[in-house]
Amino acid sequence: MQVELLDYTSDAEYRIGLMAAECYDSNKEREACLRRAKSCKDSGHLATLRFAYATLRVSDISRVCSHQLVRHAHLSYLQRSQRYVKEEDIVYCDPIAVNTLPQNLEAWWKTLQDSSEELYLRLVNDKVMKKEDARFILPQGCSTSVTVTGNLQAWFDFVNLRTGKHAQAEIRDVALEIQKQLREVVAPNIFA
């Protein structure tokens, strides 16, 4: 899994605090705005976070993970298309549980992946089916990439929901890495 921060509102916390000053007819000096942004987050006035955004590219995740990611309706997505892109040398993102399977079941798992890839490539290379139809045979464990953009309120909600102990491991790892990058680069007090 890889997460790359592509674009974001520079000086996001200042901007959030400056916009939030409208609500309170408040001081617009820099330090006051930074304190206000943190205070808004801490008090639950999260609508103020909509005045800053971040765009990230998430790659080397399974389609299972991408389906969980795109369920967050307040974020916007562009995903690698299996309709238009020929899948060659497919990389699979297997759950850790595969490593705990008895050897015969782990071998069966790998055989099914190899067989689906072989059939897909034969269908596409021999022009028996279009890529958009042949992709139906591919497992959900195929790796994919997604570019995601949204305001910081949407990212805050995503991080809170997907870093929980009940989140599936792969999406939790993605969310933790997104949180780390947003904390380190974009808005340290909001994503602390």
Are the beta carbons of 72 and 158 closer than 8 angstroms?
yes
Q: Are residues 13 and 48 in the same domain?
A: yes
pTM of the model: 0.93
Residue 164: pLDDT band (50, 70, 90) is very high
Residue 27: inside a domain: yes
Mean pLDDT across the chain? 96
Here the CATH number for the domain that contains residue 156 is 3.30.1360.170
DSSP labels, 58-79: EEEEEHHHHHHHTT-TTSEEEE
pLDDT at 24: 83
Q: Are residues 50 and 6 in the same domain?
A: yes
Residue 8: pLDDT band (50, 70, 90) is very high
Q: Are residues 133 and 156 in the same domain?
A: no
- Average pLDDT, stretch 125-133? 97
Question: Which residue carries 């491991």 as its tokens?
Answer: 169
Q: Are residues 10 and 46 in the same domain?
A: yes
CB atoms < 10 A from the CB of 42, how many?
10
pLDDT at 50: 97
Q: Which residues participate in catalysis according to the annotation?
A: 162
Are the beta carbons of 100 and 109 closer than 8 angstroms?
no
Strand ranges (E), the chain: 2-8, 53-62, 76-79, 143-151
Q: How many Å separate Cα 96 from the centre of its chain?
A: 19
Structural domain harbouring 122: 96-137
Q: Answer yes or no: is pLDDT of 118 > 90.
A: yes
Write the CB contacts of 23 (distance below 8 Å, at least 6 apart in sequence): 45, 48
Residue 63: inside a domain: no
Per residue in 35-89, pLDDT tens?
999 999 999 999 999 999 999 999 999 999 999 999 999 999 999 999 999 999 8
pLDDT at 26: 83
Burial class (CB in 10 A: 0-12, 13-18, 19+), 125: exposed
Residue 166: inside a domain: yes
Q: Answer yes or no: is pLDDT of 116 > 90.
A: yes
Q: Are residues 26 and 45 in the same domain?
A: yes
Residue 76: inside a domain: no
Rounded Cα–Cα distance for residues 186 and 3 (Å):
14
Q: How many domains does the chain have?
A: 2
- Average pLDDT, stretch 25-42? 94
Q: Are residues 128 and 153 in the same domain?
A: no
Q: Which residues pair with 2 in a beta bridge?
A: 59
